Structures are given as C-alpha cells and as structure tokens.
Structure 1
Amino acid sequence: MENFLVRLPEIVIQLLAFAFALSVHESAHGWMAERLGDPTARWLGRITLNPIKHVDPVGTVLFPLMLAVLNAPVIGWAKPVPFVTRNLRNPRRDPALVGLAGPVSNLLLAVAAVALLLLAKGAMPGFRDLLVTLLREGALGAGGVAAPLVYLLFSLAMVNVVLAVFNLIPIPPLDGSHVMMALLPPHLRFRYAGLERYGMFILFALLWFGVLGVILRPFVNGLVWILLSP
C-alpha cells in the first residue's frame, strides 16, 4: 500500500496520458469514417476529446489501472466508434482505412512527444540522468518542476507507441482486424469476424502468458534507446 501511494502521482500521469491518447484514437476513427462518407460517429458525439464519451468500464478503467499499478505499459481499449459500412464510398476498402486512422493518430502523437523530449534533451543539462531516475524510481520530485513535465511527455510517447502497436494486432475487435478483413477473400471473412466473440479472452490470454510483452517490448526498448542515447 505504501509503495502504491508513493507511485500514485506517476500512475495518475500515466492514466491522464492514456485517456488523452485514447480520445484522440477514437476521434480519429470517427473523423476518418466521416471523411469517407459515414457521419454516424459525428451524430453520436464520438468525434470529441472528452474521454467520458469513449469509456469502456473494463478497457478504459479497470485494465489500464491494473497495468499501471503493476508498473507495466498502459494499454486498453474504448467503446468502439460505430460506422455503417454501406455509407462508406468503398465498403470493401474503407473499413480498413477507418481502422488504421486510430493507430496512425497515436503514432503522430508519439512522434510529437518524442520531438519535444529530444528538444528538452538538447536544452536541459542533466536530462538523461533525470529520465533514468524517473524510469527507475518514479521520483517525480527529483527534478523540480521539470520532472513531472518530462514524465508526462515520456508517458504520452510510451502510451501512444504501445496503443498503436497493440491496436494493429489482427485480433477482433482491434483495429488490425479491419485491415485483415479487407485483405481476406470473401469466404474467410465471415469465419474471421466470428473470432470477435472470443477476442477479449484471447487478449487476456496473450497478456497472461507474456505474449503481449514479447510483441511490445522491442518498441518500448526502442523508444527508451532513442531518448537515452548520447
């Protein structure tokens, strides 16, 4: 309990970064669907950065909170942004573009956060030591005012990289499944779509057996290497 209270500011920053990243991700789905001819997300108020509009009790609250407490990279999911396939200009191709919009938005946010961190790295003496301290100890008070800002930017970069990669896994209902559906021949699409009823169980199993860690670790390590390299 004492360790949890010590890490509470760090956990709050991670969850704030996650809520923002997820709101951008879901809004990007709705925005792309609207651009491709379907205004359903706009009508339902889902093109918004208000995270409350996107909350899924398990995927947006319980799952990421559990990971944050366990000091694992924060991932999760929101309520799916609805779109009507028949309203899209190209019903075969466009669902894949709608699906890709979310991960692409996360990658753009990650690039922006990394760019700001690299600027701070060049301008702030002791940046590398501060980041190492934050990653190892989570000591937000160690660097004065700079520490929470650096940790927030790092959390934004990390959460967005992890969300992008996680959502590209081709397991329904993740975004990668929309891309896979567009690539599969018609006789396999229906069977593949049937996996969605088991999707959450598959994802929990991948987490439990460490497979998600194997998938995500190279990207997490690559991000840390970029920021800590001389």
Structure 2
Amino acid sequence: MNELTIAQKIAIWTLPILLAIILHEVAHGWVAYKLGDPTAKAQGRLTLNPLVHIDPIGTVVVPLVLLVLGGFIFGWARPVPVDLRYFKDPYKDMAKVAIAGPMANMLMAIGWGLLMVWGVRLQVDMPDIGKFLMYSGLAGVQINLILAALNLIPIPPLDGSRIVAAFLPGNLRNSYYRLEPYGFFILLALIFTGLLNPILMPIYVALKSVVQSIIGVA
C-alpha cells in the first residue's frame, strides 16, 4: 500500500478499523449478555452505532497517527462494561467473554479476506473497483489479525489475561490482577523497547495461517 496517498489510505482503512474495533467490543457485550449479564445491553452498547463506542484517542487519534507514520495499525474503543456478579462461574465465564473479542476479529479477517480475493478477480474487468476492494480487504485482514493477536497477549487487562486467569488458583489470580493498573505502561514499554514485535508476530503469523487456509490463499 506504499504507493497510495494519505487520503486513499484513510478511505481504505476507515471502515475496516471502525468495524474491527467496534465489533470486538460488541462481541464482548453480546457474550456477557448471553451468560446473564445485562449491563452492556442496558447501557446501549450492543449496537453498531459508532458514537456509543468511540474513544477519541484509541479509535481516532492513535490509528490515524499510525496510518500516517506507516507503522502497524491498532486502536481501541470504549470497553463494554461487564459485571462478574451476574455469572454462574465468574472467571470461566469472563474467559468466554474475553475470547469473544479476538474470535470476532478472526471472523472479520476471514470476511475481509474473501473480499480481498474477490477484488483481485474483479481487477481484470473493473480495475478501479477491484483494486479498492482488494486494498480494503487487505486492510481488514491486517487490522483484525493485529487486534486479535494483540489482545491474546496475557497482559492485564488484555483479553488474554482474562483467559489465563480462569485457570489460575485464587491467590495467584489475585496477584496476577494486581498488574492491571500497570498493563498499559507494560505494553508501552514493550512497544518502545521493540520487544512487542517478537511477542506479537508468532501469534499474528499463526492466526494469519488459519485465515489463509480458510480463504484458500497461500
């Protein structure tokens, strides 16, 4: 995508980024609702209306800056509220809620991948439309795989930590959750020291291979 202008990149990436971030959170809220927690639904968060999900920094500023700078793109929406008191098995049910976000991203990556394949085929007869769909599909695959991989890293409060916590004994789980106030700073430290990439990429590559095998692309 290096040959694209900034305006073209914004046009191509906007919808994939918004859907990836918003549906990730909606998936959390929907699974929580199915497990008995009405909090997200009561607060109007089980909707595709971006206005109720947007975090000005995480949904707009960070992705836009990363897009302009040319780094890998990620972002976040306002987290949906989840109340463990409604769950029959709080920590295992919370793990199910947590895994729903990355699973939603994987499903979207597959959908965008199929759109990318269609765009490639359309370029023969409709090159402009085909190229737009191909680039949009590629953007959708990339942002969703990055979000899924990033959230599976077990640093509280990322989704991976909720999954790990479900299998920890009580005392160790409580100690693990004490890291949560520092999770964002740990993530920033990993980014600025270059340590995030070797942690993230094996997960990203594994998820990418799953998507490629499903959409039939080598």
TM-score > 0.5 by shorter chain: yes
Q: Mean alpha-carbon deviation: is it higher for 211-220 or for 26-35? A: 211-220
Q: Hey, what's the Cα distance between the residues in 2 that align with 1:90 and 1:229?
A: 40
CA contact (8 A) 2:63 2:74 kept: yes
Task: Tell me the alpha carbon deviations over residues 159-218 of structure 1, each in whole angstroms, 9 at most, x when there is no partner.
Answer: 111111111111111111111211111001222111111111111111112223233445
| Residue 188 of structure 2 corresponds to residue 204 of structure 1 | yes
TM-score, normalised by the number of residues in structure 1: 0.81
CA offsets 1:82-130 (integer angstroms, 9 cap, x no match):
1110101221310000001010011011112212323444x34669xxx
Partner SS for 1:144:
helix
Q: Distance in 2 between matches of 1:108 and 1:228?
A: 15
Cα distance, 1:28 vs structure 2: 0.4
- Deviation track 1:124-162 (CA, whole Å, cap 9, x = no partner) reads 4669xxxxxxxxxxxxxxx42222221111111111111
1:181 aligns with 2:165: yes
Amino acid at match of 1:156: G
Identity rate of aligned residues, in percent? Answer: 43
Q: Aligned partners of 1:228 and 1:14: how far apart in 2?
A: 23
With over 3 angstroms needed to count, the CA separation of the structure-2 counterparts of 1:222 and 1:98, relative to structure 1, is: closer
Deviates more, 1:15-24 or 1:59-68: 59-68
The answer to whether the 8 Å contact 1:23/1:51 transfers is yes
Aligned 8 A contact 1:172 1:199 in 2:
yes
Q: Which residue of 1 aligns with 2:42?
A: 43
CA separation of 1:150 and 1:29: change in aligned 2, threshold 3 A: same
Q: Hey, what's the Cα distance between the residues in 1 that align with 2:207 and 2:86?
A: 40
Contact 2:114–2:137 under 8 Å retained in 1:
no
Question: What is the root-mean-square deviation of aligned Cα atoms in Å?
Answer: 2.8
Change (3 A) 1:69 1:120: closer
Contact 1:15/1:65 (CA < 8 Å) preserved in 2?
A: no
Counterparts in 2 of 1:4-153, with a 5 A limit? 6-121=5-120, 123-124=121-122, 143-153=127-137
Using the alignment, how far apart are the partners of 2:173 and 2:19 within structure 1? 33
Letter in 2 for 1:178: R
Contact 2:122 2:130 in 1 (8 A): no
Unaligned 5+ segments in structure 1 are 128-142
Q: Which residue of 2 aligns with 1:215?
A: 199
Runs of 5+ in structure 2 lacking a partner? none
Per-residue CA deviation, residues 1-39 of structure 1 (Å, 9 max, x unaligned), is xx9x93222034223311111111111000000000011
Q: Distance in 2 between matches of 1:183 and 1:190?
A: 12
1:29, 1:98 within 8 Å by CA — same for their partners in 2?
Answer: yes
Letter in 2 for 1:9: Q
- Tell me how many residue pairs correspond in the alignment: 211
Q: Is the 8 A contact 1:15 1:64 kept in 2?
A: no
Q: Which residue identity lines up with residue 185 of structure 1 in the other structure?
A: P
Amino acid at match of 2:132: P
